[in-house]
Amino acid sequence: MHKKWFILPVGLIVLAGCTPADRTPIDETSKSANEQNTSSETSEQKEEKTDTLTKEEIAHLELLESLPEDANSKDWNLILVNNWKPLPDDFEPNLVEVEPDKEIDARIVEPFEEWISAGLEADHRLFFASGYRSVERQQNNYDNSISKFKQEGYTEEEAIAKTEEYIAIPKRSEHHTGLAVDIVDQQWIADGNSLTPDYDTQESQHWLLETMTDYGFILRYPEGAEALTDINYESWHFRYVGKENAQFIEEHELVLEEFIELLEERENL
């Protein structure tokens, strides 16, 4: 997605120390001069390399340099699960029940509950629709959706395609991590609505977008990023990544896949 470029540190010319004239060997003087010439040439070559970078490449380098200093692509809050990167077989969720039959990762309970409480103070009665979801439960949701579409007259292939527009393939759902939360407001549900993109017509959704990074969350599947996430726009699906990471992702209009790719690029320099 991004080209990998880096600038080596400019070499320093090492000056030989002074010694009495009658004790300076000729070969040492020659060696010092050669070292100076080699160092000078290396510096010039590196400066030329810098001069050949395009504005886009320089901007990309600056973006890498501005990444959160302590962020690492292997951090627990940056685990990537999507349609081409399934949940690791040895993954063990660290769960706490925050509502009856609704669990999330224990490490995000505090920011999540603070966010919901702040919503109430802002006159938004939020509804926590879904958090952690086991692979087995995801498989049931997936199979039931396919069955429903087939009953409506779609072929098996069409039913699978329709299902995967909004339901992740089992073992490829972020909900398996305990770091994803589906949030709408209570009135939205009371009015007979469900988790649909047009939830973004509601003031509560706008408030969620305005405040999410304050609590370490991002909108995981933004509109227009389908080619990067392989998931259609979901106005209700938020993902915990940590406050500093979330602010960087929002500021630079990235999705999680892009952010992790940048971190990996920095780590491989």
Calculate the average pLDDT of the chain. Answer: 86
Distance, C-alpha 32 to centroid of its chain: 50
Phi, psi of 212 (to 5 degrees): -55, -40
The DSSP 8-state label assigned to residue 99 in this structure reads E
Q: What would the mean pLDDT of 166-178 be, rounded to a whole number?
A: 93
Q: What would the mean pLDDT of 232-259 be, rounded to a whole number?
A: 98
Residues 16 and 32: their CA atoms lie apart, in Å, by 6
How much is the pLDDT for 43? 58
pLDDT range class, residue 152, cuts 50, 70, 90:
very high
Of the candidates 16, 176, 186, 8, the one whose C-alpha atom is nearest the C-alpha of residue 103 is 176
- Whether the per-residue pLDDT at 188 is higher than 60: the answer is yes
Q: What is the pLDDT of residues 68-109, one digit of tens each?
A: 999 999 999 999 999 999 999 999 999 999 999 999 999 999
How much is the pLDDT for 20? 35
**182: Cβ–Cβ under 8 A, 6 or more apart, which residues?**
128, 129, 130, 131, 195, 236, 237, 238
Task: Output the DSSP codes for 18-69.
Answer: P--GGG--HHHHHHHHHHHHHHHHHHHHHHHHHHT--HHHHHHHHHHHTS-T
pLDDT range class, residue 177, cuts 50, 70, 90:
very high
Catalytic residue among 103, 174, 234, 265: 234
The DSSP 8-state label assigned to residue 171 in this structure reads T
Please tell me which residue, 43 or 250, carries the higher pLDDT value: 250
Residues 14 and 75: their CA atoms lie apart, in Å, by 41
Q: Is 234 a catalytic residue?
A: yes
Q: What would the mean pLDDT of 196-223 be, rounded to a whole number?
A: 98
Residues 89 and 23: their CA atoms lie apart, in Å, by 70
Residues 169 and 174: their CA atoms lie apart, in Å, by 10
**Structure tokens given for 229:** 């996430």
The angle formed by the CA atoms of residues 186, 148 and 153, to the nearest 5 degrees, is 135
How much is the pLDDT for 111? 98
Using an 8 Å Cβ cutoff, are 234 and 221 in contact? yes
- Whether the per-residue pLDDT at 23 is higher than 60: the answer is no
**85: Cβ–Cβ under 8 A, 6 or more apart, which residues?**
172
pLDDT range class, residue 35, cuts 50, 70, 90:
very low
Using an 8 Å Cβ cutoff, are 140 and 170 in contact? no
